[in-house]
Structure 1
């Protein structure tokens, strides 16, 4: 699995960005956040039309403004196609109003380069990356397929990384950082 200090891979993928006819799809690249001097959080889920995944996606959606406030682009991703993503968004009430793109890695090339494919089905593990504006992976977290992640923890770690200071255990935004 690609980890801390590594350059996030270069990619160009189609994503679902809207339910509006004719504006459903948009190409996203690895340069989008760098060109805007923003951080990127990319979180992966195994399959559309499953059970744990929509709870996570909906939880990230409730925090979209928190990521935007931190100059961070939020991207959700799986190895399903953009058409499956679109159908799922239309079908699932909690996904209709998503405010972030659902990236389709149908070739599995990005997931493979990241090293996050499960061996048997070749689906992505529940992995979350925080990538700085230079494209360097600063945090990665992986969950078993059956366990959802904690969006507040992703935000807490993003806050800590953006201080560019030493942050003690359980540190939260607004608390003192450590002095050397």
Structure 2
């Protein structure tokens, strides 16, 4: 699995950006949001139970991420058409403010090393990538356990200070001084 300090692999993926079939699809690459922080979070499968709770919560915090010059990108190994159908069917996903990317060929998931060996789908992973394309945070949870998007935002805040941040540090609090 790629980890902190590694470069984000190059990718080109189709994404769903609206629930309207006429405007739903767009292409995305690792360069689409050049010079921005990226938060890539992966879920195993569309039309499941834990995944929409996380995706909707990231959606609620989208402006908080945007205020920090970070772009959220949700990714699974389902196709863009499955993403669109799910977005149209699930109320809490209909107006998502960030793209849902389709890693159908499993290239990005494979290069990151997060494909589940038994299921053949992306594990429940999240990465924070700095504007230079360096992975600064990586986390993978069990398929049954949802992530805390608020914690991902807290980690982004800490990384953006470029300082030493203690346990449970929050934006605006004192960082640690090297004595």
Query: Under a length normalisation based on structure 2, what TM-score does the superposition of the two structures give?
Result: 0.98
Using the alignment, how far apart are the partners of 1:21 and 1:157 within structure 2?
Answer: 35
Using the alignment, how far apart are the partners of 1:55 and 1:24 within structure 2?
Answer: 22
**Partner of 1:119 in structure 2?**
117
Using the alignment, how far apart are the partners of 1:33 and 1:100 within structure 2?
Answer: 12
Q: Which runs of 4+ in 1 moved over 6 A?
A: none
Using the alignment, how far apart are the partners of 2:167 and 2:119 within structure 1?
Answer: 37
Residue 164 of structure 1 deviates from its aligned partner by 0.7
CA deviations over 1:102-139 (Å, ceiling 9, x no partner): 00000001100000000012111100000000000000
Tell me the SS of whatever aligns to 1:75: strand
Instruction: Determine which of 70, 83, 86 is the counterpart of 2:84.
Output: 86
Using the alignment, how far apart are the partners of 1:19 and 1:170 within structure 2?
Answer: 37
Q: 131-140 vs 13-22, which deviates more?
A: 13-22
Instruction: Determine which of 100, 103, 128 is the counterpart of 1:102.
Output: 100
CA deviations over 1:35-54 (Å, ceiling 9, x no partner): xx210000000000000000
Residue 22 of structure 1 deviates from its aligned partner by 1.6
Tell me the SS of whatever aligns to 1:107: coil
Structure 1, gaps ≥5 residues long: none
Residue 21 of structure 1 deviates from its aligned partner by 3.2
Using the alignment, how far apart are the partners of 1:21 and 1:89 within structure 2?
Answer: 11
Structure 2, gaps ≥5 residues long: none
Residue 32 of structure 1 deviates from its aligned partner by 1.6
**Partner of 1:137 in structure 2?**
135
**Partner of 2:2 in structure 1?**
2
CA deviations over 1:64-87 (Å, ceiling 9, x no partner): 000000000100000000000000
Q: How many residues align?
A: 178
**Partner of 2:162 in structure 1?**
164
Written as runs of structure 1 = structure 2, the 5 A alignment for 1:47-86 is: 47-86=45-84
Task: Work out whether 1:21 is the aligned partner of 2:47.
Answer: no
- In angstroms, what is the RMSD of aligned CA positions? 0.6
Using the alignment, how far apart are the partners of 2:50 and 2:167 within structure 1?
Answer: 28
**Partner of 1:11 in structure 2?**
11
**Partner of 1:42 in structure 2?**
40
